[in-house]
Amino acid sequence: MSKTAASAGTTTLRPGTGLARLLRENPALRIGQDDYNINVTANYGRQLDRSEVTEALRVHPGAGRPAHLYFHVPLCAYICHFCNYVKRKVADGPEGAAAPRIWTDLLIEESERRLAHAPWLAHASIESVYLGGGTASLLGTEQLRRLTDHMRARYTLADDCEISLEGNPDNFQHDELAEACALGFNRFSVGVQSLQSEVNAFAGRGHDAAMSLTAIAKLRATGRPFNVDMMFGLPHQTTARVADDIRRLIALDVPTITIYRLRNADRAKMGIGNRALWNVEAVRTRLRDEHLFPTLGATYAMREAIVELLLDGGYHPSPCGWWNRPGVYPDGNIPRVSRNKWQRHDSMIAYGPGAYGWLTGDDDTVVQTHNIADISGYARLLKKGPDLPLASGRRLAGYEAIGMVLGFAFKANQPIDAGRFRRRFGVELFRDEPFAEVFAELAERGLVEPMPGSRESVIPTLDGEALHEEIISVYFHQRIGGFAEAVCHR
C-alpha cells in the first residue's frame, strides 16, 4: 500500500498480504480487539475536577473563534450487542413516547446553562453542528425543530454551517429525511454496518439489508452529502461478504463510505461509556470459543479488500477511514465536522450525557471536558439543580497538547504543516526532538511521506491510513504526549 492516501488510481495489493506484512513489521501496532478502543482524545494530562473544568469553560477566550457544536442524544430503539457508548433503549408505551420531548428539554436546558455560565459561547462562530448518539434521528421532526430553532436563536451559526443528523436505516424509511432537510440539516450519517442480514441480526440491530437500501435511496434523493457507516471484524463476516457489501455501495454511488473496525474494549471500566453485551466476559469467552470473532489477520484482510475496492472506485480517505468520492466536499474533500474537530482542532462544545469536548486556542494548552456519563444522574442534575452536568476534565500542556493535536491532524488525513506547530507551540516538527525522531521513524516505515514540493508538510500514506488509530496512540499520544522534558516555547 505505497500510494499516499490522497492519491488516485488503483492499488497493486491483494487481500491478506500488505496489512499482514505491515503488522509483522510494526509489532507495536498489533492491538487485539479487546484492547482496541483507541480515541483521538487523550487519556493523559493533569486530571481536572468538576470545579476546575467549570472555571476553564467560563474564562476560555472563544468569542469570535470557530467552533463545533455537538448534541448527544442517548436514545436507541434497540441496543446493539457491540455498542459501548452512552445510550439507553427507549421504553415502550407512554414513557417511550415522551422520551424525545424530555431529552430535547434536557439538552436545551444544558445548553442554556452553559451559555449563561460562559457568554462567549453565544459569540463563537459555529461552523459545524452534529447531532449524534445514541440515535439522534429518534427525536423526530417536532423535537429536531425545537433544537434547530434553539441553535439559531442562541448561537452564531456561520452562513454555510454544516448541520449533520445521524440515524439508522430504520429511521429513514418514510419522509423523515425530507422533513430534516426542511429544518436545515444539510448532511447525514447512517449506520448500516453490514448489508448481510445475518450479521446485523446477530449483532442485535433492528434493520435488514432491504431497509438499508431504502434508506440509501432516500438519502441520495435529498441531494445532500451523506456517509454510510460500515464495520469489519464482526461475527459472521468474511472477507468475501464484506467486499460484496462495499461493491454494492459503490454501485449505488454512495458519496462517503466510512469503515470502522470492531472495538470490543470495555469502555465502562474506563469511565467513558457503557458495557456492551460482548464486553461481558462470559459472552466474550463463548463467542471466542465458538470462533465467531474473526482473527486479527482476518479482520485486516477485510479492511484490505475494502480499500482495494474503494481505490478502484475512485474514493479517497479524508479523514482517515472516511472514503469520499471526488468533489463531495470542498478544500481537501473533507467534511466540515472533520475539518473543525480534527484538522484544525477548533473548540468542540458538547452537550448530553457522556459527551466530551475540548477548549483550544492559540496557546500551548488544551482542556478536555467530560460530561456525567450516568444517564439518570445527568437527567436528575438538570431537573433538580442549577449546576452544569460536568464530571471531570484534563488539562494538557506542552508536549501533552502537541501529541494530542498531532493525533487529530493525523486523523484528518490532510497535510501536517510544520509552520502551524511552529506558530502555536514554538517547535520544529522535523528538527526538534522528540518530533524529528518520531516522523523519521514513521517515514522509514512507510507510514508518512512528504507532500510533493514541500519541505514543511507530510501526509499519511495508505499504510499510515490503515493503522491510523494505532499510530495516534503509540507515536503521538505515548511517545510525544508522554515526553518528559520541558517543551521549547516561542
Q: Cα-flanking dihedrals φ and ψ of residue 247, to 5°?
A: -55, -45
Q: How far apart are CA 337 and CA 467, in angstroms?
A: 22
* pLDDT tens per residue across span 410-424: 999 999 999 999 999
Distance of CA 305 to the CA centre of its chain: 22
State which H helix or E strand residue 398 sits in: none
Q: Which of 114, 33, 24 is nearest to 71 (CA)?
A: 114
User: Cell triple for residue 400?
Assistant: 501533552
Q: How far apart are CA 227 and CA 375, in angstroms?
A: 28
Predicted confidence band at 21 (pLDDT cuts at 50, 70, 90)?
confident
Q: Which of 29, 17, 23 is nearest to 308 (CA)?
A: 17
Q: Which residues contact 244 (CB under 8 A, 6 or more apart)?
A: 195
Do 345 and 416 form a contact (C-beta atoms < 8 A)? no
CB atoms within 10 A of CB 141: 16
Q: Give the CA-trace dihedral at 262, 458, 409, 276, to 10 degrees.
A: 10
User: Cell triple for residue 428?
Assistant: 520544529
Predicted confidence band at 431 (pLDDT cuts at 50, 70, 90)?
very high
Predicted confidence band at 9 (pLDDT cuts at 50, 70, 90)?
very low
* pLDDT tens per residue across span 162-198: 999 999 999 999 999 999 999 999 999 999 999 999 9
- Residue 74: its pLDDT value, please? 97
* pLDDT tens per residue across span 433-453: 999 999 999 999 999 999 998
CB atoms within 10 A of CB 361: 15
Q: How far apart are CA 393 and CA 26, in angstroms?
A: 33
What does DSSP assign to residue 29? G
Q: Which residues contact 443 (CB under 8 A, 6 or more apart)?
A: 449, 450, 458
Cβ-count burial 181-212 (b if 16+ within 10 Å, e if not):
bebbbbbbbbbbbbbbeebbebbebbbbbebb
Alpha helix stretches (DSSP H) within 279-319: 281-289, 296-312
* pLDDT tens per residue across span 366-375: 999 999 999 9
* pLDDT surpassing 80 at residue 12: no
Give me the mean pLDDT over the 217-238 stretch.
97
Predicted confidence band at 274 (pLDDT cuts at 50, 70, 90)?
confident
Q: Which residues contact 337 (CB under 8 A, 6 or more apart)?
A: 68, 128, 130, 162, 164, 187
* pLDDT surpassing 50 at residue 107: yes
Q: Which residues contact 2 (CB under 8 A, 6 or more apart)?
A: 446, 461, 462, 463
Give me the mean pLDDT over the 379-384 stretch.
95
Q: How far is CA 15 from CA 144, 302, 307, 336, 460, in A?
A: 43, 7, 9, 32, 21
Mean pLDDT, the chain, integer: 91
Least confident of 277-281, 319-323, 342-346: 277-281
- Residue 278: its pLDDT value, please? 86
Predicted confidence band at 38 (pLDDT cuts at 50, 70, 90)?
low
Give me the mean pLDDT over the 294-304 stretch.
92
* pLDDT surpassing 90 at residue 110: yes
Kind of pairing between the strands at 356-360 and 416-417: unpaired
- Residue 18: its pLDDT value, please? 82
Structural domains in the chain? Answer: 46-339 (3.20.20.70)
